[in-house]
Structure 1
Amino acid sequence: MARRSARVGRLGEVFADSVTLDYTSLNGGEPAVLTPVQIVEAWSGLLGAFDATQHLITNHLVTVDGDTAVCTASFQATHRLPDPFGSSLWTLGSTYRFGLVRSDGAWRLIRELSPLPRESAYPGSSTRPARRSR
């Protein structure tokens, strides 16, 4: 657990001071503008509700324009949460689009967009597992 805590503690280092997260194609609503601390807290709470998760990101295509860049990458995210009425897995897949800015010699994430993902959810369940909390 200490190793996970150390990794989560460093997660905020990849973000700029203000980040736009746009998951509206999955959850509706409006894009959120958050600080790195808010993102880490939100993701820790959401992902911590699952028994296990695996997020794979591949095929990065990066376009650099001075001190800004855009990166697209394919992803598959699998989440495990036992459900007595259906499958224990919830899997999403799509393409992320990241906006980045170079600051003090390091690249920082300023925007994350997840277009409408392919989704396989718990058959027989009336809600997505991500909405359940412990």
Structure 2
Amino acid sequence: MTHDDLIDRAAITDHVLKYATGIDQHQWGLYRSIFADEIILDFSSWSGDPASTIPADDWVAGVRATLEPFDATQHVLTNFAIDLDGTRATCTCYMAAHHHLVVDGDRQMHSIGGYYVHELQRTGDGWLIHKTQLNVTWEMGDRGLFELAAKRGAATMA
């Protein structure tokens, strides 16, 4: 492995970690900055919907509307395996995502775990994610919390 490879691996790891930081700290500009303008998303293991290509701005707005109403979220990314191929890279990393919502004074939680496969391209602005695949391998808690959080978000916007 060359010195440049090590620099690229560190840059990609730091870049992908912004995925979790942007969501959990509600830094939506930071979260948007990690994606190409149009991205391929495959969250079929979570939603059952097929992969699709959408504008990154739409993706970020949807994630914000879905996750910001929670009282807290924590996305943890670890075990980065990065394959470099010139101006392209694939980053596979383990993930755990915890979603906390206080309902009638009771803290409830929904968690998922698995791994992401991010495909990135080097641009003049550095590495950008152009494809993301979420692979859920376990789930705990009530998925209905997402609906409750959405209602809370809609009520806040009204």
**TM-score by structure 2 length?**
0.72
Among the aligned pairs, what percent are the same residue? 26
Superposed, 1:1-134 pairs within 5 Å as 4=25, 7-83=27-103, 88-122=108-142, 127-132=143-148, 133=150, 134=152
Distance apart, 1:83 and its partner CA: 4.2
Q: Give the Cα–Cα distance (whole angstroms) in 2 for the partners of residues 49 and 29 of structure 1.
A: 23
Cα deviation, residue 49, structure 1 = 2.2
Letter in 2 for 1:92: I
Q: Is the 8 A contact 2:37 2:57 kept in 1?
A: no
* Greater helix share, structure number: 2
Structure 1 contact 19–33 (Cα < 8 Å) conserved:
yes
Whole-angstrom CA distance in 1 between matches of 2:102 and 2:37:
36
Can you list the C-alpha shifts for 1:109-129, whole angstroms capped at 9, x where unaligned? 01111113310013xxxx532
Alpha-carbon displacement from aligned partner over 1:3-31 (angstroms, at most 9, x marks no partner): x56x2123211111211111111111211
For structure 2, list consecutive stretches of 5 or more residues without a partner in the other structure. Answer: 1-24, 153-158
Distance 1:131 1:31 in 2: 22
Write the distance in 2 (CA, Å) between the matches of 1:27 and 1:128. Answer: 13
Q: State the aligned residue count.
A: 125
Deviation at residue 87 of structure 1 after TM alignment: 6.8
Query: Match of 2:134, as an amino acid?
Result: S
Instruction: Mark the runs of 5 or more structure 1 residues left unpaired by the alignment.
Output: none
Distance 1:48 1:15, change over 3 A: same
3-state secondary structure, aligned to 2:58 = helix
Structure 2 counterpart of 1:17, one-letter code: D
How far apart, CA to CA, are the structure 2 residues paired with 1:116 and 1:130? 16
- Residue by residue over 1:46-80, the C-alpha shift from the partner in whole angstroms, topping out at 9 and shown as x without a partner, is 00121110000011110000111100000110001
Q: Which runs of 4+ in 1 moved over 4 A?
A: none
